[in-house]
Structure 1
């Protein structure tokens, strides 16, 4: 039975090892992805094609024995393809709801920014409220529920900007980056002749993840730590290099992610190091730089790091 942070460590070590057997040399990205899973959030993978974004999302889905679906976002994808549609049954003479691709524990949204903003908006209710409304009826989504979406840089052809409301619903964003030379050589040696996903077996179940999430919710965050989170998010709203700061949802996501990171580290309490480690992946994608910051070419990650460095640490009580 899973009921302590030590159980969280044991189960997530197995999941981490399973994912790492497919994704070479990306341990920090894997850890962030698993933190988002335990924090009941959604993950955005952002980078150029071919660096393993889709492979990471599919590997996480394969490592857990739960329902998983992949949605390929294209310009002609319709909102009903995601949420579902009501179909008239000739035998019963009634309309029946046919669930769309969003009805799964882990939903892999591939190249999400290749679909139109109208189609992207079909995800908003599901990601924010874990439910889908269709024809006046609300359908609940089964826990655990996680959207792992990949997107290509907006400079590439056939892409749309993700709306601010959409980006804000992703708990964290990570960039994969190119692998180190040794990791790429190892990938060629082990994965050149076969698909590594074919031999990957689940190491946890959906019930395990639900139990782990329940443990993560009990991780203690002191009032001083919560003040520290709000100090950082408030600083983004008043920073001269930012036109749009972090929302209250960002503060909530930061707290949930910090609890998950603490539990994965074997602690039942949050420390400032958890906040500092998660600040960039949780906050940077929600921010909009000011005009002069864009002209100066200042990266949002650098702005977040500067804010964290300037924010006083909470005092011991």
Structure 2
């Protein structure tokens, strides 16, 4: 009965998602009654738990070097005129990039690509930039201070579907955390699926894939050692293509960039798979080529500890018109498969 009510609620409320952004969406167009039904099945299992997949947002958390400072200011209690009420409020500092700090999801308009290599000197040439579906820079961001006119975060629907946990730390790396510059490969994904309870189900169209590398061991608040954002393991180009062929709607990792980062000597041999000029293969392929959302800074340790290989995940970005990303508070609802 719970399953039926849940599906009917989602189906009847789908019209509330207002504007039709289907022409600006990628794999999220697969979301619907089928993925909701799979989600409802997982929530109906015995001994299900709710898992928080995000971190608390604080001024002392690890901060992206690309997104400015994050300094919330908490205001004194305020009185409400002609009443016996008081209320509290807080504000964020000027020039903070709230969407790209903490646990977050990228809009498809977060990333573009060009046929012209830029060496970091002078101004970048935007004339040949293309975004998802071949949209031009002029169509997506017509002037420097413009919000995204296409592919902004407001085009992302509520993501309610089944989530597949790939615990590569456990199944491919013998329980050790992946190191900076190491890549999650197709072999690791296939090996993890084979060794987990998902060996028969696999990855289905419309799934969200969550990859646990163990890099989140470096996440600390307060961020005293400054290791977390300095480097990271990530997804190889061929692994990105493999997941895209499965038609997943989102790929999330317990690191800050989905891609691998490290010194040249630390980068795995899979770096040779990258097309010319592509240093962030996951961002490039997922966001600009196939329309799969990248989800960053996920807290997956408890999900992995309990071997919740399959769950119902709910990810709701803020509808900040024209923004390239959004903070999120994703939850997974599921039970242990061990």
What TM-score results when the alignment is normalised by the length of structure 2?
0.27
- Structure with greater proportional helix content: 1
Tell which has more relative contact order, 1 or 2 (C-alpha 8 A, sep 6+).
2
TM-score with structure 1 length normalisation? 0.28
